[in-house]
Structure 1
Amino acid sequence: MVHQWTEAKTLIGKLNNKGYQTYIVGGAVRDLLLGRTLSDIDIVTAATPKEVSKLFDKTVQLSNQHQTVLVREGQELFEVTTIRGTSFVEDMQRRDLTINSLAMDEHGDLVDVVNGKRDLEFKQLRSIDAKARMTEDPLRMLRVARFISELGFSVAPNLFNTIKENHPLINKVAVERVVKEWVKVLKGADRKDALRFLVETGLYQSIPGLSLHAKAIDELLHLKSLVNESESICWSAFCLCMNVPNEETLKQLNLSNELLRAVKVRMYYYQKRKVHSWSDMDLYDSSIDVAQDVEKLRFLFGLPAQDQSKLKAMWDSLPIHNRSELAVTGGDLLQEFKKEQGPWLKDFLLRAEKLVIERKCLNEKSIIIKELRKCEHC
């Protein structure tokens, strides 16, 4: 990230040298002042997208609502956005929060036209014209909760009251945008304060897709920290708190197919784990990653969890870990049993896996086939 910062200053210098007022803005400046891991570096400039594209060799015009160009400087890529409004000051005043309205020039000097540095020092979330900022993009209300969760900041009274009065507007925001912010709310170190904010403002009732209710909020308040946990664990924990009954409810969140599958399998084995300990077959079917996540979920919900090292030792001791390690293949079975390909083949391969995993026979081709012959007419 230090290298990226250097390249950003070089890019800014090139624009400034051509007479275009240019700054690093937003989250990167905020996080630098807070001593946090730097986020992506965004740049704002007085140059138009056309002027930016002429100045740099490698650019791509982004098709978003802002006039943004993706620029390569050295080995780094930066989003360079044309100043919104009539001036740089107006642009900074129109951003969601003052702590995200800080800027830095090519020399590393802070430019603060909204007293954002003071709000950082006071650990306060504040907006310039809160009603205008929150209503022009209602997702910003959830972003406030996200910054409470991530930073532990308080909310200025005017901003708090604005969200309390206007929270129904967020219901029109696309679920995909909500999902990205919500997982950050869940993962923050001060998640509980953020959840209380959602309740106190009534915002939780209006967030689309999540279908939050008082009981779920209470479950989330008692859940152990999700800091540094994967998205799979965060969404699984959330769905368990919500008591999500079926796949359709999950699909309403528009999660990726990969994440959707990951959450479903973890929830399935979490419920199964309530009934009994891990069997060799369950461990094989689920995979070590899923099993370890299930135990993490049990810990998060205050249930006794199996030691991760013991679980890994159990996994390591399995005769095979996936079908590719099985000593027989579908081709072998077709040749040995002289049958046309059909549903029986899948059944026999599953039986072979079960025989080996449950140590009822060695993982040797001739032995597996001999055992399968015994149950050929079962």
Structure 2
Amino acid sequence: MFAKTYGATTLGIDGRIIDVEVDVSPGLPGFELVGLPDTSVKESKERVRTAIRNSGMQLRQERVTVNLAPADVRKDSSGLDLPIAVGLLASYGMVPEAAVQSALFSAELSLDGNCRPISGILPMAITAREHGLTEFYVAPSNADEALLIDRLKVYAVENLAQLVRHLTGTEVLTPAVPQATEQKKDAAFTDDFADVQGQYQAKRALEIAAAGGHNVLMVGVPGSGKTMLARRMSSILPELTKEEAIEITKIYSISGLLGKDTGLVTTRPFRSPHHTSSTVAMIGGGSIPRPGEVTLAHHGVLFLDELPEFSKKTLEVLREPIEDRQITVSRANATLTFPSSIILVAAMNEVTSITIQCNDDREAA
């Protein structure tokens, strides 16, 4: 019997709907998973079979074929465990197929059938709404993130057995609702620009840069307050719009930087990579490119302390994100464009500046 469910993965900072097609037929027992899965997805067949058995359900020993479409897109999300399990149960007739036609499933399964959270839920929810899906089943820790998108019923599923009871009508799950959490001051704003005493000329320069979106280079002796001022620059930038906040939250969701039960990111990012960071860490990369520091600082501040200590190659790759407000990363498996609308703030010691100038004069002579 054939059944089809919907899962999702991420590509760049966007979600991608994956059609999970499951076919069960008589023959030599086996479990084939096709459709360009990576290692974590290939291992899902063991997690799924064990989770189903430990949830109190027994399946006949038959030949199972699972296809993840489109087949030319590499799947690298363990969140495909849940749609594979539901599709398998639907193909055996244990779950009505009509109950899964307009739903997206995204969670990792433990061996006892519990649902574990994954990264990238927000872009998946946006893509689900764009494709006309009306229900989204996620792990409880991902529910608040999925609820950021309107016109989408979000269900927090504790385990596979609970989901099966809901789909078969023996138990009714109530759609999740946003948790009423009191607004607390974000950690980024504990460093307030108003706390700086003196430094009037430097503060005026940073205020102008914040107002116009200009980049800043601060030169001074060690201990003069360069890092202190840079860390507080985010607190004088304009508040995020709803669109900017969603875009930043998508980036942090894909990178796995959202904390447990974290909703919308409401403060502008401040990123300060170490001077030993590589070009891949700075602009993003990997076999399937992931965001780098310039993208994680999108709509915020990227601070490069001890600027001359960064390698020449690392500094040169910053030209495109600064000029074009985006960075294109090309790899064998994909070519992706990441947003990088940043304010670059750099700091260096005055002694280093004098040394560089002397070296230039010596070369000119």
Please identify the structure whose Cα radius of gyration is greater.
1
Q: TM-score normalized by structure 2?
A: 0.31
Task: Say which structure, 1 or 2, has more relative contact order (CA 8 Å, 6+ apart).
Answer: 2
Larger helix proportion of the pair: 1
Larger strand proportion of the pair: 2
Q: TM-score normalized by structure 1?
A: 0.30
